[in-house]
Structure 1
Amino acid sequence: MRILSLLLLTLFIATGCCSQKKTNMAETQIEYSAMSRGYFKKIVLQNQTAFVTNGRDQQPIETKIDDAKWNKITAEFSKVNLDKLSTLKAPTDKRTYDGAAIGNLKITKDGKTYETPGFDNGFPPKEIEKLVNLLVDFAKE
């Protein structure tokens, strides 16, 4: 009976540890940019730091990201399928007639770059919407 109990306890502990895998963000850079003829915004996240550029000739403003917000970003990032990023479809088409700036999400992880096709700023594809909204929040602060 003791052996059976020990085996079950070991199984539960091992299962719990496996399900709590954290995404390694040390070698990851997330970049969101939005631009049109008269508008430019670029947000770069790396190592719990955000760099926000609000104009073409502006220097980026550096901001440290608190742990709570970083955990939200990491959680949303872990839901993104990087291999399918280049195939995402934009839900709207306002950028084609200057109705919206062109948004773009680029992720560099372990030396490999993944990038979305252009989409309307403010209307990202559903699959990356929460992550993009978290990034855009840095530009509002």
Structure 2
Amino acid sequence: MTATQMEYSAVSRGFYKKIIVQNKTVSVINGKNTEPIESKIDDAKWKQIVAEFEKIDLESIKTLKAPTEKRFYDGAAIANLKITKNQQTYETLGFDNGTPPKEIEKLVNLLVSFTKE
């Protein structure tokens, strides 16, 4: 997993959040033009992230269907998960922040949990 980077972003007119996870480190950006807050990920949480990551079929994430469509009328920020592994990038279509497709839900929730600590 050392050559893998996961990036979760959620954006709307008044909301901006980006979470980048790589090499047991997380960077959280809350708001445009703000400095990232970087911290180490403890071993237990890292193992959870790796376990959930390994369940994902990277080739299929670009076709995952969002379970809700609140982002179409400003009811939710547009969220996206981008994974870069071995210089290959895999990216989801937009989905509602807080309601990811079920195939990536556990991984997204682990990433988002860094903004709640």
Q: TM-score normalised by the shorter chain: which range applies?
A: over 0.9
Q: Does 1:79 align with 2:55?
A: yes
User: Partner amino acid for 1:47?
Assistant: N
Equivalent position to 2:98, from 122, 128, 140: 122
> 1:72: Cα distance to partner?
0.2
Q: Which amino acid aligns with 2:64?
A: L
Q: How many equivalent pairs are there?
A: 117
**1:46 and 2:57 are equivalent in the alignment:** no
User: Greater strand percent: which structure?
Assistant: 2
Please list, as runs of the form range in 1=range in 2, the aligned pairs for 1:1-141 lying within 5 A after superposition: 25-141=1-117
* CA distance in 2: counterparts of 1:75 and 1:92, whole angstroms: 26
- Output the amino acid matched with 2:45: K
Structure showing greater radius of gyration is 1
CA offsets 1:89-140 (integer angstroms, 9 cap, x no match):
0000000000000000000000000000000000000000000000000011
State TM-score, norm by structure 1: 0.83
Distance, in Å, in 1 between the alignment partners of 2:25 and 2:85 is 16
Higher share in helix: 1
Which consecutive residues of structure 1, in runs of 5 or more, have no partner in the other structure?
1-24
Unaligned runs of 5+ in 2: none
RMSD: 0.3
Letter in 1 for 2:2: A
User: 1:74 Cα shift?
Assistant: 0.1
TM-score if structure 2 supplies the norm length?
0.99
Structure with more contact order per residue of length (Cα contacts < 8 Å, sep ≥ 6)? 2
Structure 1: how far apart are the matches of 2:55 and 2:101?
14
The SS at the match of 2:16 is: strand
SS at match of 1:134: helix
Q: What SS does structure 2 have at the residue aligned with 1:69? A: helix
